Structure 1
Amino acid sequence: MLINLIFESSFVMRFCGVLVLCLFSTIGLAQKTIVSGKIIDANSGDPVPFANIVFKGTSIGTTTNFEGYYKLETSERVDSLIASYVGYVTKTKVVRPGVTQTINYQLEENVLSLQEVVFIAGENPAFEVLRNVVKNKDKNNKRSLSAYQYDTYTKIEIDVDNISEKFRKRKVMQKITSVMDSVDRIAGEDGKPILPVFISETLSEYYYRSSPKLQHEKILKTKITGVGVEDGSVVSQFIGSSFQEYNFYQNWLNIVEKDFVSPIADGWKFYYEYDLSDSAYVGDHYCYRLDFFPKSEQDLAFVGTMWITKDGYALKQIDATVSSAVNLNYIEKIKIQQELEPTSAGPWIPVKNRVLLDIGEVTKDMAGVLAKFYTSNKNVQVNMPQELKFYARPIEVAEDYKIGNDNIFWDKHRHEPLSATEQSVYRMIDTLKNIPVVKTYTELLKVAINGYKKVGKFDVGPYLSLYANNTVEGHRFQIGTRTNISFSNKWVLGGRIAYGTEDESFKYQGFAEMILDRDRWTVIRAEYTKDIDQVGLSADDLLDNYIFLAATKYGNLIRPYRYHQAKFSMQRELVKGFTQKATFQYRTFDPLYNFGYYTDPERADSPIATEFQTAEVALEARYARDELFVQNDNERISLGTVKWPIVTLRYVRGLKGVMDSDFDYNKVGINITKNLKMGFFGTSNFTITGEHIFETLPYPLLKAHIGNESLFYTSAAFNLMNFSEFASNSYASVKYRHHFEGFILNRIPLMKKLKWRLLATANVLYGQLDQKNRDIIPLQTVDGEPIEPIGSFRKNEPYVEVGYGVENIFKVLRVDFLHRLNYLDRPDVDKFGVKISFQFIL
């Protein structure tokens, strides 16, 4: 009996013990705290990747992924959660213990300057990591692959931000305000209201080949919604991944036409301070965390954080920011976030990129602009180069790029689903586009940018040439028109007509252009023109300087003449970068000043003529190895070259007797232009030009060098040379310009706040006017009127002018101080001059 009682008691105790353990285990599970959420920037609404999340009072934490998401759990008793990241204000939120919950953050940017990094005794431990990063660059840089390709998805959003109450009360904004108030704040509950005006999505295939360096992107599908965006064919060429390429393994990154030094550049120690702040797993890779800061806050450099793999010293992740302290105009912030993965061959390729460009208010009463870019790359393949002809067009848009672009297609094919915020962006833009006042201002902006007003199938303009006033024509009124792509994608027809109230004469032009091939750009053009011009200021020589060309129709015209011109030309890009052009031109010369020439200089009694006709054939070969173009409707626009110079060779043959032409002649010429990027020392540009004319001709058929007697500076002219002061039958010239950016003035305490920038210029012209070309011009006309001679160079003495100046004064004004170094004995020349110009630069 006693034994049974003891056994039963023991069983009960064990049963109770098991019951208690189960109960406590259940209670423990019930008290497990699970928190997930997303961290975004309160200003832009963009995710904040790599941010730190930790339960307060514990060591339990994690970091957000590239999309800003996190998940954290604990069985410990916790009551709050802390979110922090470099450059942002740390934020704490209350946690409900023992439950699963969602906690999102909108982090505010920390406007205080980052504190200096101070190391005591010994070498900075980050330096050893940086040395290994540079040592392993060739092994990790994607450009060391013979080729790579991937499928890419690109998303771009442009918003108006920093919308003040004063700006909202403007008349133009009042009807838009109701739209803003009817939609949730895009940036989130704690964020600032923004007004989206453009969003696009693109699917494309990107290919790169290293030898020779070539790239090709085929835009497969685009979805574009924006205020003022209609056709979208031009925009489609800019919204792929080609313009979102940021390679930190390069020493310099070109952003908004400025060169920023990479934090892993070969000369990293000269530009940055570093802090080895942590080490942890990032995905499957154990990484060192390095924070970096520019040594001078105004230099074109970044501040941020990067993660370097311990195995191989490759860049795994980077978050780099350019702050408003940098010597840039209008730019408040540039942020680049990048995540990389290794390829099968070893080098790493970015699989996700996010770029934020924050453009500040031009004035206090205006709003700012946010431009946000996101790129995702998948299906990476390496070391499979395509044939060279495959890369003939760097950017190609598929013919069906707009077909089948419904929501079902994009829900299936975009790499990342749209957030609720982005879905509301589409709805808001669709609403904005239908507001009448928005349509009106959009049209005005287009006219300001393009110079033409689109009216159905025609463009009317250009507005710069609508009116002029000069000593020959008096008041000059002009109107022009041309067809656009709505009329035809093969034919461009156009013309203009002008009338002068003083000479009571009509001037006009008509042209027809046919696009034969868009892949290898092939164009045929025929035109006929009747107008006035000035010797040495030919419109054909100033086509790339529209403002200066329009200005030549104002004021006192120097050596003016009337002309008729018939011109036929054909050009074709034979292979990538190499364009051939052939032109036939007939032109008359009817001077409106005292001019004459001997028709037979060999005779002592040679007749004197005042007019002449020419017929000529010109052959031109242009080579620009890495030049990038985009097609704007029926035009092709050059975006310049990256590394190589542009070389143009030209041969002209005059045909005497053809269409009553008066002269036989041969001209050969060359032009070389190149931009030089010199890092922190700034950027340079030089142009070398040379020409030789073999026959004896009157000076209007020679090279009458462009002078500038106006107050305004222009790179198209020799700025202290008078109009038509020199002519040459053989010459060579060098024009050099260097922009120091903020290299010097950034280091002067009282000057760096102004953000002024120094520049230097030098123009050298070595010319020759043979005696035969001088003798062909008589001292007086047949009527006895004296003829003003054309100036010539002294033997072995080039014309030289040098200058220095300051640009970025009030962000738009440039002042050049110029010195003419020789030919000072001539009448009415200035050995020193001050000229101004206005420019919009970043």
Structure 2
Amino acid sequence: MNIVFYTSRFFLVIGFLLISCSAFAQKTVVTGKVTDAETGDGVPFANVYFDGTTIGVSTDFDGFYKIETDKATDSLVVSYVSYQTRKKAIQKGVTQNIDYQLASSEETLKAIVITSGKRENPAWEYLRGVLEHKSENDKRRLSAYEYDSYSKVELDVDNISDKFKEKKMVKQIISVVDSVESLAGEDGKPVLPLFISETISKYYYRDNPVKRKEEIQKTRIKGVGIDDGSIVSQLVGSSFQDYNFYKSWIQIAGKDFVSPVSESWRLFYDYELQERSEIDGIWCYHIDFQPKREEDLAFTGTMWITDDSTFALKRIDVTVPKTANLNFIEKIKIQQDLKRIEDEKETAWIPVKTRILVDVGQINDQWAGMLLKSYSSAENIIINKPKELRFYKDAIVVDEEVNNSTDEFWQENRHDSLTASEQTVYAMIDTISNLPMVKSYIEIADLLINGYKDIGKIDIGTLLTFYSNNNIEGHRLMFRTRTNIDFSSKIQFFAGIGYGFKDEKWKYSGKIRYIANRNPWTVISVAHQYDLQQVALFNEDFRSSDNYLFTAFSRWGDLSRNRPFYHRQSSIDFQTDIIKGVTSKITYRNQEYDPLFAFEFFDPENSDIRRSNFTVSEVMAEVRIGFRERYINGEMARVVIPSNFPVFKFRYIRGISGFLGGDLEYHKFSTRLEHSFRVGIFGRTDYFISAGFTPSTLPYPLLESHLGNETPFYNQLSFNLMNYFEFVSDKYASINIVHDFNGFLLNRIPLMRRLKWRTFVEGNMLIGNVSQKNIDLIPNIDSNGVPMPKFGSLGATPYAEVSYGVSNIFRFVRVQAVHRLTYLDKDDASKWGIRVSAQFRL
């Protein structure tokens, strides 16, 4: 008995000790950060769990995690959609730090097959819930909201190939930058920084009418080749980083991507319901999704939908893979965390953290790629307290002291601290910018893009117009110069001097441009010029366009058919914003016409007088209305950010006889409407409607000479199968419609989808005529009895042409077949033709 008693007591004591030791054993605690192996950025929402257990957590928005257990386990696993899963060994019973870098993966969702008699995809129930409650959760339902915003933007060179490293400039950079390898981390790829910025601002929005405003308070900018810091300061604010996934279509870099919670969700996406997870104390349904067709402009990713009656979007992480029908883009990634904001009346979900990444791939192995990263956050959110309308007069306001700040200011006011690599970037950019070879390459790039070379306070150029050759001037040289911001921020001088070696005439131009006010934007200009022009190209809209390439090459070859003339013009104009979105411009100009072709006309007031040379003195009033457009005021220019609403232009010209030598009295009216809009899943349509009326009697050089195109190159402003000077009108209306399917058709053809070609169709139509009194103004023979050349006009039948084609060939070539539908009986009419152009589009 004693032996049994003591034996039993021994095992009871041992058992108690084992239980006690287990109860008081140290926990295994692991903390760390999960980052993208290519970019070095944190990976939010990744799954972190102990291998062989159900214990797991998710990383926060910056990629950090903390997990603990008292169970026996020897490894920790990290996984996430579109990344390769990684496992690392851990030490039991201790607190430790383990970081992970995840490499990209091409893995797709498992197909969910629904057979007859079985229930539908379980994720669809929650997708329908999101759509039913979309209007209740979308921030646009609020009458107003405002918040304190912090944003940062970084641009790097990445995908640095061995051949790219061998380039002379790159060698020089790498030799002086000793921390290149450390920017992306030990397992990541090295990057070279080009630009980094931080911005603190106040953002405001109101509904009915929709108005936005951002007050940019402080910016901190470092960049290689950054000259106009005022424009950059406005571009890096939160206004241009606002993505709302409750919208059916999300525009990124000019492309429309379908949202995974759009009304067309079943047409574009496959979904897979995962396990529930808790985020910020809220239980959410976890749903993975991917495009049905990998070439569509759609996202792969994960979203978290709240597990309550609201079905709100709590988190979303989307990626556009390189298989999508985009050029040069390896990946686009957007990650967003939303927060419920409520007052006594309403509730909505507003993004409080957004991270965007755009990875531009290598053109070839001789080059590197580009990596654009941005981050924005919102704090101190206030809803349903709209300001008065006049408060939103200016969409973007930059504080006068925006660039004056200290390190201490940023440490106290930025919403999130900089990572170690971001702190390194500031110093590296300074080093790279000061390298002589880098400065030289920046100057060459600026010359190629802008046509001018900066030589201090003035710029000289331009490349496109420096030399040309035609039958009138022979060899022609033209030299231009202008002052820049280093000379003055208010006044700018332009000058040009040229010479034709055949006609032995000097051509010249001069202009003074004064920025009288930046708010509202007000500019006064005075100009004078003497140059060779062509009636066939003397189109008012074309003259005011920025088609520099077409303008430069229009001076080459035989110009006789285009009816050339020497043109002298003096002008003064005043431009200002009447209200937001409405710009007015008043111009006085005096023009002298000296034709180089057989030309005479009867004086409209006295038919006994014939004129060849003539002078016009005219006043022109223009109004431009751009609904909901935003403006960025630069140091010497203003950039217009278009909206999704139409743009309307109206122009009136009054010719004054007897004033400063004016020979003719007349009135001219013209208008133009242009608009771009999405047509659901079928692509995007752009249309341009123009109309004009000249009730006065005028010689044809002052009427509307419809722009033709006899080159093999496409020109959007012209009728591409119309000959030069084929039709002239004193009253007309035209419409141009272009519909781009954006790969909608070819993405569905297996053998074509990998080419990433895009189809489009276009139609052009013109109606117009010339009054008999304007026709009779031109005599049949000149003063010497020589027959006078006439001009053509449209009859009752409209001019029409249609075209169709393929764009994005070799990523930038556009080829279209054009068919002329009317006036085919003319001897020189082309019934069809091929037009080629180059487009740089994503």
**TM above 0.5:** yes
- Aligned partner of 1:370 in structure 2 is 371
Q: Is contact 1:741–1:757 with CA below 8 Å preserved after alignment?
A: yes
Q: Tell me the CA shift for residue 26 of structure 1.
A: 6.3
Q: Tell me the CA shift for residue 785 of structure 1.
A: 3.2
* 3-state secondary structure, aligned to 1:684: strand
Identify which range, 241-250 or 185-194, moves more after superposition.
Answer: 185-194
- Of residues 315, 318, 335 in structure 1, which corresponds to 2:316? 318
Paired with 1:352 and 1:824, the residues of 2 have a C-alpha distance of: 61
Q: Tell me the CA shift for residue 231 of structure 1.
A: 4.8
- Of residues 48, 69, 74 in structure 1, which corresponds to 2:43? 48
- Residue 31 (str. 1) matches residue 36 (str. 2): no
Q: Considering only aligned residues, what root-mean-square deviation do their CA atoms show, in Å?
A: 1.9
Q: Is contact 1:180–1:195 with CA below 8 Å preserved after alignment?
A: no
* 3-state secondary structure, aligned to 1:77: coil
Paired with 1:19 and 1:458, the residues of 2 have a C-alpha distance of: 91
- Aligned partner of 1:423 in structure 2 is 423
Q: Tell me the CA shift for residue 173 of structure 1.
A: 1.5
Deviation by residue 1:708-735 (Cα, 9 ceiling, x = unmatched): 1111110011111111111111111111
- Residue 273 (str. 1) matches residue 270 (str. 2): yes
- Residue 58 (str. 1) matches residue 62 (str. 2): no
Alignment CA distance shift 1:488-1:196 (3 Å): same
Q: Tell me the CA shift for residue 25 of structure 1.
A: 4.7
Identify which range, 80-89 or 389-398, moves more after superposition.
Answer: 389-398
- Residue 286 (str. 1) matches residue 286 (str. 2): no
- Aligned partner of 2:457 in structure 1 is 457
Q: Tell me the CA shift for residue 514 of structure 1.
A: 1.3
- Aligned partner of 2:298 in structure 1 is 301
The 5 Å alignment of 1:235-254 reads 235-254=232-251
Residue identity opposite 1:339 in structure 2? D
Alignment CA distance shift 1:483-1:26 (3 Å): farther
Q: Is contact 2:575–2:586 with CA below 8 Å preserved after alignment?
A: yes
Residue identity opposite 1:49 in structure 2? P
The 5 Å alignment of 1:574-723 reads 574-600=578-604, 603=607, 606-640=608-642, 642-723=643-724
Residue identity opposite 1:256 in structure 2? A
* 3-state secondary structure, aligned to 2:552: helix
Paired with 1:694 and 1:535, the residues of 2 have a C-alpha distance of: 20
Alignment CA distance shift 1:443-1:771 (3 Å): same
Deviation by residue 1:621-652 (Cα, 9 ceiling, x = unmatched): 21111112212321112222x22111111211
Q: Is contact 2:745–2:759 with CA below 8 Å preserved after alignment?
A: yes
- Aligned partner of 1:3 in structure 2 is none
- Aligned partner of 2:134 in structure 1 is 137
Residue identity opposite 2:318 in structure 1? A
Q: Tell me the CA shift for residue 28 of structure 1.
A: 5.2
Alignment CA distance shift 1:525-1:449 (3 Å): same
Paired with 1:161 and 1:784, the residues of 2 have a C-alpha distance of: 73
Identify which range, 222-231 or 570-579, moves more after superposition.
Answer: 222-231
Paired with 1:27 and 1:271, the residues of 2 have a C-alpha distance of: 53
TM norm structure 2 = 0.95
Q: Is contact 1:322–1:334 with CA below 8 Å preserved after alignment?
A: yes
Identify which range, 365-374 or 784-793, moves more after superposition.
Answer: 784-793
Q: Tell me the CA shift for residue 537 of structure 1.
A: 1.1
Q: Is contact 1:260–1:679 with CA below 8 Å preserved after alignment?
A: no
Q: Is contact 1:780–1:786 with CA below 8 Å preserved after alignment?
A: yes
Paired with 1:648 and 1:184, the residues of 2 have a C-alpha distance of: 53
Paired with 2:313 and 2:176, the residues of 1 have a C-alpha distance of: 44
The 5 Å alignment of 1:671-820 reads 671-794=672-795, 796-820=796-820
* 3-state secondary structure, aligned to 1:428: helix
- Residue 328 (str. 1) matches residue 332 (str. 2): no
* 3-state secondary structure, aligned to 1:536: helix
Q: Is contact 1:567–1:586 with CA below 8 Å preserved after alignment?
A: yes
Q: Is contact 1:696–1:773 with CA below 8 Å preserved after alignment?
A: yes
Paired with 2:245 and 2:710, the residues of 1 have a C-alpha distance of: 47
Q: Tell me the CA shift for residue 279 of structure 1.
A: 0.8
Deviation by residue 1:529-564 (Cα, 9 ceiling, x = unmatched): 111100031275322222111121111212000011
* 3-state secondary structure, aligned to 1:426: helix
- Aligned partner of 1:128 in structure 2 is 125
Deviation by residue 1:579-614 (Cα, 9 ceiling, x = unmatched): 1111111101100111111125764xx232111110
Paired with 1:20 and 1:117, the residues of 2 have a C-alpha distance of: 50
Paired with 2:463 and 2:380, the residues of 1 have a C-alpha distance of: 49
Paired with 1:301 and 1:506, the residues of 2 have a C-alpha distance of: 57
Deviation by residue 1:423-463 (Cα, 9 ceiling, x = unmatched): 12222222211221111111212222222222222122232
* 3-state secondary structure, aligned to 1:374: strand
- Aligned partner of 1:4 in structure 2 is none
Identify which range, 440-449 or 559-568, moves more after superposition.
Answer: 440-449
Identify which range, 285-294 or 427-436, moves more after superposition.
Answer: 427-436
Deviation by residue 1:272-321 (Cα, 9 ceiling, x = unmatched): 11111111211121110111111111111111100000121100000011
Paired with 2:274 and 2:22, the residues of 1 have a C-alpha distance of: 39
Paired with 1:330 and 1:36, the residues of 2 have a C-alpha distance of: 37
- Aligned partner of 1:227 in structure 2 is 224
The 5 Å alignment of 1:155-174 reads 155-174=152-171
* 3-state secondary structure, aligned to 2:529: strand
- Residue 105 (str. 1) matches residue 74 (str. 2): no
* 3-state secondary structure, aligned to 2:169: helix
* 3-state secondary structure, aligned to 1:570: strand
Paired with 1:60 and 1:112, the residues of 2 have a C-alpha distance of: 24
- Aligned partner of 1:408 in structure 2 is 408
- Residue 70 (str. 1) matches residue 68 (str. 2): no
- Aligned partner of 1:154 in structure 2 is 151
- Residue 564 (str. 1) matches residue 568 (str. 2): yes
- Residue 436 (str. 1) matches residue 436 (str. 2): yes
Paired with 1:655 and 1:415, the residues of 2 have a C-alpha distance of: 62
Q: Is contact 1:132–1:313 with CA below 8 Å preserved after alignment?
A: yes
TM norm structure 1 = 0.95
Alignment CA distance shift 1:378-1:468 (3 Å): same
Paired with 2:198 and 2:817, the residues of 1 have a C-alpha distance of: 48
Alignment CA distance shift 1:233-1:772 (3 Å): same
Q: Is contact 1:601–1:775 with CA below 8 Å preserved after alignment?
A: no
Alignment CA distance shift 1:708-1:423 (3 Å): same
Identify which range, 164-173 or 212-221, moves more after superposition.
Answer: 164-173
Residue identity opposite 1:594 in structure 2? A
Paired with 1:417 and 1:98, the residues of 2 have a C-alpha distance of: 31
Paired with 1:632 and 1:551, the residues of 2 have a C-alpha distance of: 30
Paired with 2:180 and 2:659, the residues of 1 have a C-alpha distance of: 71
Alignment CA distance shift 1:184-1:750 (3 Å): closer
* 3-state secondary structure, aligned to 2:130: helix
Residue identity opposite 1:360 in structure 2? G
